[in-house]
């Protein structure tokens, strides 16, 4: 089932690039825009961005270099769990309608949930070891 492993690897890389890329774009866009501080630019929300950049880049590099890591599934799963937790927290913020929420509108909620669904799928795939069947 090498095709399954390749598809899972591609999904992991896409997830990592989307998670890190969106965070970098949002950080740079808000920092360089010249506008005053936005209401969502709080310490917890900036922390979300930092976690996104770190976890996104990490899962891309882990997937590329996995043959050299003996504990690859455990390390990858840990980073994916962090992605899941941070994205769930954003959903909770949106649902309870906090003033300084990370997700400002419904399209961002949809994108957040797509990343969340893919991350959950990839965690299940790692847990079930579908990659090595």
In tens, the pLDDT along 3-34 reads 888 898 999 999 999 999 999 998 888 777 66
Position 130 scores a pLDDT of 55
Position 127 scores a pLDDT of 82
Q: Where are the domains of the chain?
A: 2-132
Stronger pLDDT, 16 or 125, i.e. the higher one: 16
Rounded CA separation 133/131 (Å): 6
Tokens of 119: 């991350």
Position 100 scores a pLDDT of 82
Position 132 scores a pLDDT of 54
Tokens of 58: 């990490």
Position 37 scores a pLDDT of 60
Q: What percent of the chain has pLDDT over 70?
A: 90
Categorize the per-residue pLDDT at 41 as very low, low, confident or very high, splitting at 50, 70 and 90: confident
Chain centroid, CA 32 distance in Å: 23
Q: What are phi and psi of 50, to 5 degrees?
A: -65, -45
Residue whose pair of structure tokens reads 């994108």 in the numeric block: 111
Categorize the per-residue pLDDT at 129 as very low, low, confident or very high, splitting at 50, 70 and 90: low
**Against a cut of 0.85, is the pTM above it?**
yes
Q: What is the residue-averaged pLDDT of the chain?
A: 87
Rounded CA separation 118/131 (Å): 15
């Amino acid at each position: 089932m090498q095709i399954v492993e390749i598809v899972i690897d591609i999904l992991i890389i896409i997830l990592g690039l989307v998670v890190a890329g969106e965070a970098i774009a949002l950080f740079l866009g808000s920092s360089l825009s010249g506008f005053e501080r936005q209401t969502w630019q709080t310490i917890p929300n900036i922390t979300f961005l930092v976690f996104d950049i770190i976890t996104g880049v990490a899962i891309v590099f882990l997937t590329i270099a996995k043959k050299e890591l003996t504990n690859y599934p455990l390390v990858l799963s840990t980073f994916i769990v962090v992605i899941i937790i941070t994205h769930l927290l954003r959903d909770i913020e949106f649902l309870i309608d906090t003033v300084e929420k990370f997700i400002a509108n419904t399209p961002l909620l949809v994108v957040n949930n797509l990343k969340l669904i893919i991350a959950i799928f990839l965690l299940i795939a790692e847990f079930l070891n579908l990659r090595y069947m």
